[in-house]
Amino acid sequence: MNELLRRSAADLAGLIADGEVSAAEVTDAHLDRIAETDGEIHAFLHVDADGARAAAAAADERRAAGEARGPLDGVPLALKDVLAQEGVPTTAGSKILQGWIPPYSATVTRRLVDAGLVILGKTNMDEFAMGSSTENSGYGPTRNPWDVERIPGGSGGGSAAALAAYQAPLAIGTDTGGSIRQPGAVTGTVGVKPTYGGTSRYGLIALASSLDTPGPCTRTVLDAALLHTVIGGHDPRDATSIDAPVPDVVGAARNGDVAGMKVGVVRELGGEGYAPGVEAMFAKTVALLEKLGAEVVEVSCPNFEYALAAYYLILPAEASSNLARFDAMRYGLRVGDDGTRSAEEVMSLTREAGFGDEVKRRIILGTYALSAGYYDAYYGSAQKVRTLIKNDFDAAFGAADVLISPTAPTTAFRIGERIDDPLAMYINDLCTIPANLAGIAAASFPVGVSADDGLPVGFQVMAPAMADDRLYRVGAALERELAGEWGLAKLGEGAK
Amino acid sequence: MSDSIMDGSIMDGSIMDYADALERFDPVLGLEVHVELSTASKMFCGCSTEFGADPNTQTCPVCLALPGGMPVINGAAVESAIRIGLALNCEIAEWSRMSRKNYFYPDMPKNYQISQYDEPIAHDGHVDVEVDGEVIRIGIERAHMEEDTGKSLHVGGATGRIHGASHSLLDYNRAGVPLIEIVTKPIEGTGARAPQVARAYVQLVRDLMRALKVSHARMEQGNVRCDANVSLRPIGQIEFGTRTETKNVNSLRSVERAVAYEISRQAQVLAGGGMITQETRHWQEGSGITTPGRSKETAEDYRYFPEPDLVPIAPDRDWVESLRATLPEPPAERLKRLAGEWGFSELELRDVVAAGAVDVIEQTVAAGSAPQPARKWWLSELARRANEAGVELEELAITPQQVAQVQALVEAKTINDKLARQVIDGVLAGEGDPEQVVEARGLAVVSDDSALGDAVDRAIEANPDVAEKIRGGKVAAAGALIGAVMKEMKGQADAGRVRELIIERLG
Amino acid sequence: MAQTSPETRLSADDVARLGRLARIELSPDELDRLAPQLEVILDSVARVQEVAVADIAPTSHPLPLRNVFRADEVAPSLDAEAALAGAPAVEDDRFRVPRILGEEQ
């Protein structure tokens, strides 16, 4: 394997800036790696080799002219297919959008391009980000580089797998209920869900508008902080965007000092249903934080037990409305337009043909939850639970600077194992959902492999809204301590 | 009373005579008026709202509902909504939200309309309308913000009709233009005057929107659209009857006719022992009847919920009060005041209102013209030109100040009425202010008596017969000589002075 | 108005009605498969009613932002070509769609 592939994004940026390697070489190395491995991994839905080479060449020209655009100029990145990129096919993993080419770019995409990043292509995902395994993609599943019989998590399995397979040093994900963190956990990579409103949703194909948050997916904590800084910050095109500077996440990632930090173990996120190997690794990590000077306390968030239920009402309700625009009239798939059928019939036939099972299941569920006579019992009640969960967080953050838990109850499961059991699939999101409901910041950091099966385990850290920097302090501290037994080199062994 | 009833064009036996209907039933009205705001940009994106652009040239990822497009509220639309609410004597909500109204329709790109549901920006107001000298108070339930839809063109069927069309063509330029929907409380007790009350109310709303300058408020362009809810109950009954909602009643006359028609139609159904179906009906301008919409198996289920892409609107009280300070004088009071100040007859005033000339006349008077000449210029010469160009008086390329200047020149006898029309031509053609046009075109009347005297002498010489008649006392014959002089002077003479010179010589 | 029964019963007909509301032409097989799945999910998520008592205010936005407005300024639109580029069918610079059955709302 080309040694460039193992380097962090920060390192690559440094090598490019110093002229030791060109952005073109770095990009070619990654494109070659994709060509070699993606037949098996299927992390990408679309590889934009020409666009990437052109962007790399432009970065090299800028460097030659002394006009480099910041700390990640020329570094390649994989973009989740849920973000619009002008002129590049964007499908959100759905057949209903096959062949659609956006005439505009998402704010996140634009900021990446403006910062000089080289977008290699669009990564696979569960259709419209509905899923925890990437098996719901309309274009076939992505495989986990650690064990290709297993899922890479979801919905951002493509982005996580691309990192774990060394196809890209950086990726973008979106997290609605854990879609950045859970894939990070099961592929041994870093995934950060910024504070809701800390990264723009403009141009992100909406799943659940009040939950969706774009964020960085990387192999190192510093890389995540650098990428977070590029994509974060106020966007006037998104009315829910926070008008405040991005917290100093890069400083926190370089600091990594947890001495004196109060770390709260959430009592309700553990115990029954958690794999022994996951629990053991979590306990070991908590002990490590204590050793590093953190003060570990236990906190209780009693309403978290209702989080999953609230989430699986709020998400389908918002999604049923958000996905109404896929109607065969203005773009995307059109089925059954034989000159005799009405617009209504063509809409219904197209949506039947273009949406996969999970998408239909959630649209129907959401339609039900919002319909007359059921709104108060379902959607309305779920919004109240949301209040209770926010209150739980407020109380917990009164007692601790950050909260911690496993990221997911188990390691990567086998492809096909849970696909016919929606509830079993939804359990994956148990630990990650509360942060989305409350809009706070959360991240998953790799901390080792499970004794049960040798597969990666993630460690979740949660911080109050706009205190994203705390996540990075904890992540950096763990990374520094664990780099010997766990880290970049180890990660590579799993990848074929 | 209503034209449609009176002219018998719809007396096909299916509806009851209007007077008979009112003897047996008591109508209750509910009016929903949609006002298109005249903001520069759309409700949720920066696309222009300008009317008449080429199809689909004023669209973007937001208003086309491309994947990933999302709304941001136009602050000027909120400001207009609050001002409208205040002008309707409404409470302005301290906490208001946008909601999604979910239903599929091809002219609505997102397949939900961003509207307001249980938390409108303005609620619980009232306005007073006057019908036959009686003031009737109409309760306002709410005024809320929403967005307009695109426009569909139905192809392949009877001209432009949805039924029988083979396909439709969609233009989304109008999609996302801000609307304010104003909903009345049930209007009861109007009896036979219900159609006139409906008309007077819609006219009042229209005039209010113009006075507030929040909308072009042109019904013929669809800036103001009315849906009329009508129900009947037997005289003496308290409970409301089942209502119908007649959509797209888009002129004042149609409002009156549609309400009258529905009263007669429903009366016929009820009197025959039938039931009124709660349904949407459509006003047919040509035939003067309402026709049923497609019957729905079940009531629409719009699945309203708070719009998650937008955050709540909580207007600061200081802001609301500062907007209250910008409210214009209510149209009715203003008209009453102006009528007194100007000394117009009731008929003259009505013509001025109908021509939409109140503002321009007021400004012309403010610029120094007397009211009557101001009225004359705007309602004759300028109204004709506006009509020819298909624009409103305000849109003519002449300002009220310039009209006042034209009138000043006439009064100074620098020009006469005929020359004044040429001066107006010049101003409209962009040749500058009236004085500049007079100068550049050399339009001032010739007041030099020696030049005029020469022309008069020549006219007398050329028309000895006429001159003889005048000498003989037939002063009326002077017209022919005046005509000859004016012709020679190319109209640039004061006809009165010419007459004086002729009489001096021949009298 | 709230339906609070812990046991939700959904027939294939109910699901078909929801499918019509959501404009999805579900096949008979799908209706038979979806109805019991949705019942299981609904029974599970109905738990929210256990704690959602009347005096709790609902949260629809995670963060307490309000009054976010844009200035009333015209920004460039897409040109018609770009707007129509993804359309399944175009005629006279407009989106061509099958005949429309329903009435305007």
Q: What's the pLDDT band for B388 if we cut at 50, 70, 90?
A: confident
Q: What's the pLDDT band for B130 if we cut at 50, 70, 90?
A: confident
Judge whether residue B507 has pLDDT over 80: no
**What integer is the mean pLDDT of C79-88?**
97
Do residues B230 and B335 both lie within one domain?
Answer: no
CA diameter of chain C: 56
Do residues B365 and B459 both lie within one domain?
Answer: no
Residue B492: CATH number of its domain: 1.10.10
Do residues B401 and B278 both lie within one domain?
Answer: no
Q: Mutate which of B169, B171, B309 to disrupt the C interface (most C C-beta within 10 Å)?
A: B169
Q: What is the spatial distance between Cα B50 and Cα A65, in angstroms, rounded to a whole number?
A: 45
Cβ-based contacts of A324 with chain B (< 8 Å)? 102, 104, 110-112
Q: pLDDT, tens digit, for every residue of A329-387? A: 999 999 999 999 999 999 999 999 999 999 999 999 999 999 988 999 999 999 999 99
Do residues B284 and B349 both lie within one domain?
Answer: no
Q: What's the pLDDT band for B393 if we cut at 50, 70, 90?
A: confident
Q: Tell whether A204 is within 8 A of chain B (Cβ).
A: yes
Minimal-distance CA residue of chain C relative to B309 = C61
Do residues B464 and B482 both lie within one domain?
Answer: yes
Q: What is the spatial distance between Cα A362 and Cα A316, in angstroms, rounded to a whole number?
A: 5
The CATH topology of domain A3-255+481-494 is Amidase signature (AS) enzymes (3.90.1300)
Cβ-based contacts of A374 with chain C (< 8 Å)? 2-3
Q: What is the spatial distance between Cα A468 and Cα A459, in angstroms, rounded to a whole number?
A: 16
Judge whether residue B129 has pLDDT over 50: yes
3-class DSSP assignment, residue A439: coil
Query: CA of B356 to nearest chain C CA: how many angstroms apart?
Result: 27
Asked if A384 and C52 come within 8 Å (Cβ–Cβ), the reply is yes
Do residues B222 and B258 both lie within one domain?
Answer: yes
φ and ψ at residue B181, rounded to 5 degrees: -100, 125
Judge whether residue C45 has pLDDT over 80: yes
Q: What is the overall mean pLDDT for chain C? A: 89
Q: Which residue has the higher pLDDT, A81 or C7?
A: A81
Cβ-based contacts of A320 with chain B (< 8 Å)? 102, 303
Torsion over CA: A115, A116, A122, A123 (sign)? negative
Chain centroid to Cα B444, Å, comes to 38
Do residues B180 and B315 both lie within one domain?
Answer: yes
Do residues B423 and B488 both lie within one domain?
Answer: no
Judge whether residue B159 has pLDDT over 70: no
Query: CA of A252 to nearest chain C CA: how many angstroms apart?
Result: 24
Query: What pLDDT, on a 0 to 100 scale, did the predictor assign at position B160?
Result: 64
Q: Which residue has the higher pLDDT, A246 or C6?
A: A246
Judge whether residue B7 has pLDDT over 90: no
Q: Tell whether B160 is within 8 A of chain C (Cβ).
A: no
Q: Whole domain around residue B408: which residue ranges?
A: 331-441
Q: Mutate which of A320, A321, A349 to disrupt the B interface (most B C-beta within 10 Å)?
A: A321
Do residues B246 and B97 both lie within one domain?
Answer: yes
Closest in C56, C58, C86 to A101, CB measured? C86
Torsion of CA A137, A447, A9, A179, to 10 degrees: 30
Q: Which residue has the higher pLDDT, B390 or C94?
A: C94
User: Tell me, what amino acid is at B462?
Assistant: A
Q: What is the overall mean pLDDT for chain B? A: 90
**What integer is the mean pLDDT of B190-205?**
96
Do residues B172 and B36 both lie within one domain?
Answer: yes
Judge whether residue A137 has pLDDT over 80: yes
Task: Tell me the residues of chain C between 25 and 44 that have a Cβ less than 8 Å away from chain B.
Answer: none
Residues C84, C90 contacting (CB under 8 angstroms):
yes
Closest in B104, B301, B309 to A324, CB measured? B104
Q: Is B474 exposed, middle or buried (0-12, 13-18, 19+ CB in 10 A)?
A: exposed
Q: What is the spatial distance between Cα B328 and Cα B324, in angstroms, rounded to a whole number?
A: 9
DSSP B170: E
**Domains of chain C by start residue, with CATH:** 12-50 (1.10.20)
Query: What pLDDT, on a 0 to 100 scale, did the predictor assign at position B294?
Result: 63
Q: pLDDT, tens digit, for every residue of B318-354? A: 999 999 999 998 877 888 899 889 999 888 888 888 7
Q: Match 């070659």 to its residue by tokens.
A: A32
Q: pLDDT, tens digit, for every residue of A272-309? A: 889 999 999 999 999 999 999 999 999 999 999 999 99
Query: CA of C101 to nearest chain B CA: how many angstroms apart?
Result: 8
Number of folded domains that form chain B: 3
Do residues B154 and B254 both lie within one domain?
Answer: yes
Query: CA of C59 to nearest chain B CA: how many angstroms apart?
Result: 10
Q: Is A31 exposed, middle or buried (0-12, 13-18, 19+ CB in 10 A)?
A: buried
**What integer is the mean pLDDT of C35-56?**
92
Task: Tell me the residues of chain B between 265 and 324 that have a Cβ less than 8 Å away from chain C.
Answer: 280, 282, 293-294, 300-301, 303, 305-306, 308, 310-316
Do residues B354 and B217 both lie within one domain?
Answer: no
Q: Annotated catalytic sites of A, by residue?
A: 80, 155, 179
Q: pLDDT, tens digit, for every residue of B37-76? A: 999 999 999 999 999 999 999 999 999 999 999 999 999 9
What number is the ipTM of this complex? 0.96
Judge whether residue B356 has pLDDT over 50: yes
Judge whether residue A189 has pLDDT over 80: yes
Q: What is the spatial distance between Cα A141 and Cα A150, in angstroms, rounded to a whole number?
A: 10
Q: pLDDT, tens digit, for every residue of A387-406? A: 999 999 999 999 999 999 99
Asked if C20 and A348 come within 8 Å (Cβ–Cβ), the reply is yes
Q: What is the spatial distance between Cα C105 and Cα A182, in angstroms, rounded to a whole number?
A: 43
Q: Which residue has the higher pLDDT, B446 or A331?
A: A331
Interface residues of B toward A, Cβ cutoff 8 Å, are 60-61, 64-73, 100, 102, 104, 106, 109-112, 166, 168, 170, 299, 301, 303-305, 308-311
| Domain termination site, one of B293, B308, B324 | B324
Q: What is the spatial distance between Cα B466 and Cα A399, in angstroms, rounded to a whole number?
A: 114
Q: pLDDT, tens digit, for every residue of A243-271? A: 999 999 999 999 999 999 999 999 999 88
- Annotate B13-40 with three-state secondary structure: CCCCCHHHHHHHEEEEEEEEEEEECCCC
